[in-house]
Structure formats: structure tokens, C-alpha cells
């Protein structure tokens, strides 16, 4: 007994507790053994080799293989606290929590043995991210994956403000205090482990116990969260790299596109003196199922609903849950995912606006106030609208761009053909953009602290933004009265509004492909043409009639580029009649989309 105590540096009680606990938990899975190991046998063998090798060195140098009893008990309790407070998987699969505890102890001891106080450079940010992930999971049912990180990198001040409510700020302060206490306890305990070799030997042993316990779990019952914190740290690092790569690649794709106007194009329907106005409005985060023109029980689009000449597409599937990717898919000849390895999906030419500019239209762009961050969104949308003669930013709400549009109309002769490109906040998170004095749906809540706790109020705010957009469109159209115009509207992506407990941007879903499994990917799309436009040329009336016939089809973002060319009769080598909604031979969208009964 004394010899064993000298070798292991602690009473057999602790060692026996470790063995019995592991055996007890593992026995549950052994009884249901399926013949498939949950973890490669090489992991526990490698950990055992580290433990035995460093243990042998400890023996040669007369050092204890493991720290003293009180240190180990303290570390055990601290690691249980770490896992309980920061590991979501501990609650999803509590029967595998012992693996996380052993992994945490192994990580803590190995990092201390290798880095000493430098280990805090890992633990401090990691714990902060894990607390943030836990809070995000509880409040918004999402984790810190690459999509969330990429979107956070592009978030505006207003978006951050929506999440940094008083409650969340207080929670953040409490978290910082908790992390400071946890790190202090960790250092206080580990400082008593005076030998680096003892730390490494003990860390190897606990890694072995973790991997050995996981190896006994059938593969179909093994969860990666059990390997917290090592797997989670690797996943976060990978997610950050993916987020940077994703944002850089999106910008690079837009930068490398050649203008379609570099190739010959022509327009047979106009001579440039008709005074036609095309309003191309790419909306923000508007779900089709929240528009009353698509059967929503609330009258969110009263003005549009009153229009008998509206060509409405009730089932338009957005290309992406990210504004920049959606903008590229809408304005270029991209088919779907611009980051896919399938070359046929990627754009081969630049913005359709360039073709209108090359064929006699003057182009103006109107953005929301968030443009100016000089981040991914700003760079991509500026590249896609670089043919614009002038760009405007709405200084306050989207309504403040209406005087800007009016000034452009007045400064151009009535005979000049114009394209007004509009992309303002609309229904983007946070749901700030509506007039409180005329908001029809009350009470409403714009803050995003625990939206599930006041789901109806948050949904009221979202519906108010769509009602506001309806009024915005009415006001713009009123400026165009008497002129031949076409108003084309399509939203970039949708929002999660409580589906599966998820809230916020479409990019926040953590299950791959989930966005296109829900009606959040069905976005608003319609076309409105004035009688003056229809009367200008026989092609316009017939094209609009064909478009009206095709409105019942399931369409996608990739139809817009070709439909604009087809509607105006612009000939270009990039035009594809099978994607032109004003063509008889148009093909419907058949890619990822929600089932008819999806929520």
C-alpha cells in the first residue's frame, strides 16, 4: 500500500474512485455494445503512451506521477464546474459528462505542464466564448459556428445594440467575474503541482481515461461534445478560419467578376428617350409567408394587396442566408451556392446593372445607413453597383431615402431612362425600421434578449417592418406616377422567427442546410409595371403576361438576372431563356427548398 501511494502520489481512495466511476458509466454502454467503437483505438493508446512515458520519467527522477490528493480533488471539482457551466453537451448527453471531466482535467494539466501561466491565454478567451455559446444556445438556439462568426464580423452597431440589452450586459459582467474566479482557482490549484513532468504525466493519464471511456461507447451513441474542451477548441479555431476565408472569398468572387458589358449587347425595345424607370429593390430579410399578399392572416402589405396589376411570386427560394452571397446570386448569372466546387453554380460575369448602363440607362443606388463599415457587405455591394453614377445612404430610417429618390427623378430629364437600385434595412435584425406612430401590431419588442420569452412581441415588431416596407414602396411608386416604370422587388434572405427555437438571421441555424428546410428561405418577390410602360412596346405587354402566367412556379434568385434582360429585351451572350420568367420555356427552381408543410 505504501509503495503504491509513493508511486501514484495519492491514497488509493482517489484512484479507486476514478476506476469505479469510469467502469460504472462504461458498463451501461458495454451492455448495449454494437460492435462499433466510438473512438479509434489509437487515441487511448497514444494517451496511455504519454502517461506511461512521463510516468517512467517521473519515477526515474523520484517525482510523483500524480499530484497530491487535495489538489486532484480540487481539480476534479473545478473541472466539473467548468463542464457544467460551459459545455452544452453535458446537458444533452449527461451520461457522457465523465468523459468531458477527464478531458478537461487532462487539458488543464497538460497545458499547465507545457505553458504554466501561458495556459491562461487559452483558457480566458475560450471560457468567454463558451459562456457566450451557452447564452446564445439558451436564448437563440444557435452555436458559434463559422456562419455565426462570419455574420458577427459584419454586424453593424445597430445589430450589436439589439443583442446588448441591459440584461445581456449585466449577464456579460457576471460572466467576466465568474471567469476571473474560475481562472484564479485553476492557477491556485495548479501552482501546487511543482513539477512540469508530474503535470504532463497526470494529464496523459486523464486523457487516457477520457478516450478509454469514449472507446467503450458505441459509435452511434457517441457525441463530439463529450470531448470538450479539446474538440470544441479545435472546432472554434476552425470556425474562425472558415469565417475569415468565407468573407474573403465572397469579396474575391465579386472582385474577380468581369463586367457583362465588356461583351456586345443591345436593346431592341427602347431608344433611350422614353423616360423608363426600373426600380430594382432588393429587400432585407422579408419572408414570403409574412406578407398578406401571400395569404398571411395579418394585413402586413395592405397597399400591395390592393394592386390588381401586381405580379406576385409567392414561392421564391433565396440562394443563401447571407446578404452578400444573395446579392451576387441576384445580380449576376450565378445559379446557387457561389462557394460550391461545382463551377456551373458560380457566376461567370458581373452585375446585370452594367448591361442596363451599357444600353442607355443611368444607374443610381440607394442604401441603408449601415453602408460605410468598409467590411464584406459594403465592398461586395459597391462592386456590384460600381456602374452607378451616384450612391446615396439613408441617414436615418429607410423613408429618408425617398427625398433622395425624388431629387434624382427631378434632376434627370423626363426622357431619360433610369435604374434606381434600392437596398435598405427593411426587416433586417434588429426590427427597428418602422414608424411607431402608425405601427399596426402592438405591443412590440425590438430587443433580442431571450426573444422566446416574448415571441409574440418580437413577431409583432417583424410584421411592423413589413408593413413599413409596404408603405415605403407606395411612396416610391407615387413619385413615379405618369412615368413608364417597372418596380421589381425581391428579398435577399429570410429570418428565423422561433422555428426550432431559433431567432435572427438565416445564417444562425446550426444544422447544415436547415435554412432551406424552413419557410425562412421563401422570400418576398413581385413585379409591378405601370400602364405607361406596358403601352411603350408590344414586347413589354406580352413579356409581363408570360411573367404573370409563370408566377405560380417555384422560382429562385437565379431567375432575376435573366428575367430583367428578358423583360426589357436586352440581348446578351449571358442571357438564358430557361431562367427568364418572362419566357415561355422558363424552368422552375428545383434546388433545396422547404417541403410544402414546413413550418
Which three cell numbers mark 434?
418602422
Q: Is the pLDDT of residue 572 over 70?
A: yes
Q: Is the pLDDT of residue 156 over 70?
A: no
Pairing type for strands 277-283 and 311-312 reads: unpaired
Q: CB-based contacts of 543: which residues, under 8 Å, 6+ apart?
A: 566, 567, 569, 582
The answer to whether 558 and 336 are in contact (CB under 8 A) is yes
Q: Which of 462, 458, 396 is CA-nearest to residue 424?
A: 396
Sheet holding 362-367, edge to edge: 311-312, 525-529, 485-491, 277-283, 418-423, 362-367, 390-393
Using the CB atoms, write b or e for 173-192: b if 16+ within 10 Å.
eebeeebeebeebbeebbee
Question: Band of the pLDDT at 542, cuts 50, 70, 90?
Answer: very high
For residues 213 and 278, membership in a common domain is answered with no
For residues 288 and 399, membership in a common domain is answered with yes
- Give CA–CA dist 386/379, Å, rounded: 10
The predicted pLDDT at position 213 comes to 75
Is residue 193 domain-resident? yes
Q: CA dihedral defined by 510, 511, 512, 516, rounded to 10 degrees? A: -100
Tens-place pLDDT, residues 2-45: 554 544 444 444 555 555 544 544 444 444 344 444 455 556 66
| Number of separate domains in the chain | 2
Which three cell numbers mark 347?
457566376
Tens-place pLDDT, residues 420-464: 999 988 888 778 888 888 899 999 987 766 777 788 999 999 999
One DSSP character per residue, 321-360 reads SSHHHHHHHHHSS--S-TTSS-GGGS-SS--HHHHHHHTT
For residues 172 and 298, membership in a common domain is answered with no
Q: Which of 475-484, 489-498, 568-577 bottoms out in mean pLDDT, i.e. has the lowest?
A: 489-498
Q: Is the peptide bond before 430 cis (omega within 30 degrees of 0)?
A: yes
Is residue 223 domain-resident? yes
The conformational region for residue 50 under phi > 0 = left, psi -120 to 50 = alpha, else beta, is: alpha
The predicted pLDDT at position 553 comes to 96
Is residue 591 domain-resident? no
Other C-beta atoms lying within 10 Å of the C-beta of residue 93: 17
What is the CATH classification number for the domain harbouring 321? 3.40.720.10
The predicted pLDDT at position 140 comes to 62
The predicted pLDDT at position 420 comes to 97
Last residue of a domain, one of 243, 267, 293: 243
Is residue 592 domain-resident? no
Which DSSP helix (H) or strand (E) runs through 497?
strand 495-497
Is residue 342 domain-resident? yes
The predicted pLDDT at position 332 comes to 96
Q: CB-based contacts of 14: which residues, under 8 Å, 6+ apart?
A: 69, 72, 73
Last residue of a domain, one of 194, 217, 243: 243
One DSSP character per residue, 199-251 reads HHHHHHHHHHHHHHHHHTSBGGG--GGGGTTHHHHHHHHHHHHHHHHHHHHHH
Last residue of a domain, one of 178, 210, 243: 243
Residue with cell 497538460: 110
The predicted pLDDT at position 510 comes to 46
For residues 221 and 86, membership in a common domain is answered with yes
For residues 271 and 211, membership in a common domain is answered with no
Q: What are the backbone angles phi and psi of residue 478, rounded to the nearest 5°?
A: -65, -30
The predicted pLDDT at position 574 comes to 96
Kindly state the average pLDDT of the residues 171-191.
91
For residues 117 and 185, membership in a common domain is answered with yes
Share of the chain above pLDDT 70, in %: 78
Question: Band of the pLDDT at 260, cuts 50, 70, 90?
Answer: very high
Which three cell numbers mark 508?
444562425
Domain that holds residue 136: 2-243
The predicted pLDDT at position 451 comes to 79
The predicted pLDDT at position 382 comes to 84
Kindly state the average pLDDT of the residues 345-350.
91
Using the CB atoms, write b or e for 46-85: b if 16+ within 10 Å.
ebbebbeebbeebeeeebbbbbbbebbbbbbebbbbbbeb
| CA 580 to centroid of chain Cα atoms | 29
The predicted pLDDT at position 169 comes to 80
One DSSP character per residue, 264-285 reads --EESS--S-S--EEEEEEESS
Pairing type for strands 495-497 and 503-505 reads: antiparallel
Share of the chain above pLDDT 90, in %: 41
Is residue 595 domain-resident? no
Q: Is the pLDDT of residue 547 over 60?
A: yes
For residues 197 and 346, membership in a common domain is answered with no
The answer to whether 473 and 310 are in contact (CB under 8 A) is no
The answer to whether 490 and 283 are in contact (CB under 8 A) is yes
For residues 291 and 234, membership in a common domain is answered with no
The predicted pLDDT at position 374 comes to 44
Q: Is the pLDDT of residue 373 over 50?
A: no
Which three cell numbers mark 43?
487515441
Is residue 496 domain-resident? yes
The predicted pLDDT at position 24 comes to 46
Question: Band of the pLDDT at 334, cuts 50, 70, 90?
Answer: very high
For residues 33 and 93, membership in a common domain is answered with yes
- Give CA–CA dist 599/591, Å, rounded: 18
Tens-place pLDDT, residues 71-100: 888 898 999 898 888 887 776 677 778 888
Q: Which of 25-34, 241-250, 329-338, 477-486 bottoms out in mean pLDDT, i.e. has the lowest?
A: 25-34
Question: Band of the pLDDT at 46, cuts 50, 70, 90?
Answer: low
The counts of H helices and E strands in the chain are: 21, 14
Residue with cell 441603408: 368
Q: Is the pLDDT of residue 348 over 90?
A: yes
Q: Supply the mean pLDDT for the chain.
A: 82
Kindly state the average pLDDT of the residues 136-149.
66
Q: What are the backbone angles phi and psi of residue 37, rounded to the nearest 5°?
A: -70, 140
Spell out the SS3 assignment of 64-123. Answer: CCCCCHHHHHHHHHHHHHHHHHHCCHHHHCHHHHHHHHHHHHHHHHHHHHHHHHHHHHHH
More confident residue, 400 or 156: 400
Question: Band of the pLDDT at 508, cuts 50, 70, 90?
Answer: very low
Using the CB atoms, write b or e for 298-322: b if 16+ within 10 Å.
eebbebbbebeebbbbbbbbbbbbb
For residues 133 and 264, membership in a common domain is answered with no
Q: Which of 211-215, 362-366, 373-377, 563-567 bottoms out in mean pLDDT, i.e. has the lowest?
A: 373-377
For residues 196 and 51, membership in a common domain is answered with yes
For residues 500 and 544, membership in a common domain is answered with yes
The answer to whether 569 and 536 are in contact (CB under 8 A) is no
Is residue 589 domain-resident? no
Q: Which of 7-16, 166-175, 312-321, 501-510 bottoms out in mean pLDDT, i.e. has the lowest?
A: 7-16
The predicted pLDDT at position 424 comes to 85
Cα–Cα distances (Å) from 342 to 186, 345, 517, in that order, read 49, 6, 21
Q: Which of 340, 331, 365, 183 is CA-nearest to residue 249?
A: 340
Amino acid at each position: 500500500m505504501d509503495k503504491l501511494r509513493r508511486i501514484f502520489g495519492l491514497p488509493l481512495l482517489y484512484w479507486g474512485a476514478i476506476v469505479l466511476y469510469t467502469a460504472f458509466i462504461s458498463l451501461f454502454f458495454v451492455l448495449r455494445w454494437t460492435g462499433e467503437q466510438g473512438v479509434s483505438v489509437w487515441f487511448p493508446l497514444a494517451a496511455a503512451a504519454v502517461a506511461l512515458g512521463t510516468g517512467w520519467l517521473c519515477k526515474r527522477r523520484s517525482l510523483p506521477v500524480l499530484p497530491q490528493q487535495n489538489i486532484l480533488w480540487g481539480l476534479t471539482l473545478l473541472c466539473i464546474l467548468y463542464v457544467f457551466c460551459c459545455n452544452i453537451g453535458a446537458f444533452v448527453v449527461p451520461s457522457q459528462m465523465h468523459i468531458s471531466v477527464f478531458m478537461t482535467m487532462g487539458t488543464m494539466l497538460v497545458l499547465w505542464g507545457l505553458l504554466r501561466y501561458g495556459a491562461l491565454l487559452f483558457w480566458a478567451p475560450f471560457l468567454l466564448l463558451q459562456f457566450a455559446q451557452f447564452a446564445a444556445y439558451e436564448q437563440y438556439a444557435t452555436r458559434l459556428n463559422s456562419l455565426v462568426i462570419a455574420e458577427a464580423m459584419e454586424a453593424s452597431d445597430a445589430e450589436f445594440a439589439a443583442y446588448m440589452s441591459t440584461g445581456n450586459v449585466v449577464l456579460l459582467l457576471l460572466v467576466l467575474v465568474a471567469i476571473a474566479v474560475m481562472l484564479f482557482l485553476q492557477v491556485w490549484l495548479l501552482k501546487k503541482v511543482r513539477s512540469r513532468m508530474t503535470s504532463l504525466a497526470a494529464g496523459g493519464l486523464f486523457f487516457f481515461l477520457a478516450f478509454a471511456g469514449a472507446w467503450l461507447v458505441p459509435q452511434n451513441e457517441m457525441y463530439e461534445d463529450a470531448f470538450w474542451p479539446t474538440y470544441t477548441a479545435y472546432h472554434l479555431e476552425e470556425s474562425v478560419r472558415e469565417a475569415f476565408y468565407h468573407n474573403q472569398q465572397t469579396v474575391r468572387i465579386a472582385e474577380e467578376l468581369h463586367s457583362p458589358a465588356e461583351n456586345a449587347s443591345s436593346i431592341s425595345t427602347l431608344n433611350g428617350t422614353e423616360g423608363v424607370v426600373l426600380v430594382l429593390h432588393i429587400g432585407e430579410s422579408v419572408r414570403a409567408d409574412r406578407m398578406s399578399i401571400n395569404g398571411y392572416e395579418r394585413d402586413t402589405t395592405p397597399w400591395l394587396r390592393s394592386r390588381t396589376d401586381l405580379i406576385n411570386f409567392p414561392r421564391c427560394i433565396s440562394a443563401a442566408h447571407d446578404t452578400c452571397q444573395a446579392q451576387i446570386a441576384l445580380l449576376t448569372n450565378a445559379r446557387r451556392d457561389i462557394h460550391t466546387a461545382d463551377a456551373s453554380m458560380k457566376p461567370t460575369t458581373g452585375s446585370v446593372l452594367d448591361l442596363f448602363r451599357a444600353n442607355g440607362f443611368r444607374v443610381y443606388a440607394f442604401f441603408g445607413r449601415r453602408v460605410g463599415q468598409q467590411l464584406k457587405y459594403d465592398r461586395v455591394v459597391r462592386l456590384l453597383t460600381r456602374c452607378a453614377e451616384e450612391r446615396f445612404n439613408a441617414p436615418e430610417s429607410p423613408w429618408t431615402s425617398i427625398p433622395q429618390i425624388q431629387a434624382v427623378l427631378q434632376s434627370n430629364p423626363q426622357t431619360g431612362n433610369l435604374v434606381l437600385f434600392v437596398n435598405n434595412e427593411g426587416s433586417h435584425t434588429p426590427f427597428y425600421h418602422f414608424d411607431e406612430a402608425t405601427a399596426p401590431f402592438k405591443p412590440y419588442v425590438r430587443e433580442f434578449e431571450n426573444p422566446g420569452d416574448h415571441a409574440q412581441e418580437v413577431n409583432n415588431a417583424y410584421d411592423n417592418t413589413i408593413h413599413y416596407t409596404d408603405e415605403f414602396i407606395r411612396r416610391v411608386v407615387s413619385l413615379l406616377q405618369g412615368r413608364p416604370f417597372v418596380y421589381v422587388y425581391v428579398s435577399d434572405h429570410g429570418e428565423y422567427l422561433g422555428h426550432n427555437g431559433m431567432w435572427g438571421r438565416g445564417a444562425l441555424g446550426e444544422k447544415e442546410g436547415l435554412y432551406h428546410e424552413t419557410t425562412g428561405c421563401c422570400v418576398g418577390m413581385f413585379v409591378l409595371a405601370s400602364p405607361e410602360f406596358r403601352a411603350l412596346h408590344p414586347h413589354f405587354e406580352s413579356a409581363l403576361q408570360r411573367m404573370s402566367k409563370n408566377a405560380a412556379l417555384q422560382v429562385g434568385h437565379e431567375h432575376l438576372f435573366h428575367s430583367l434582360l428578358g423583360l426589357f429585351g436586352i440581348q446578351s451572350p449571358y442571357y438564358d431563356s430557361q431562367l427568364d420568367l418572362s419566357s415561355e420555356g422558363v424552368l422552375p427552381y428545383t434546388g433545396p427548398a422547404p417541403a410544402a408543410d414546413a413550418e
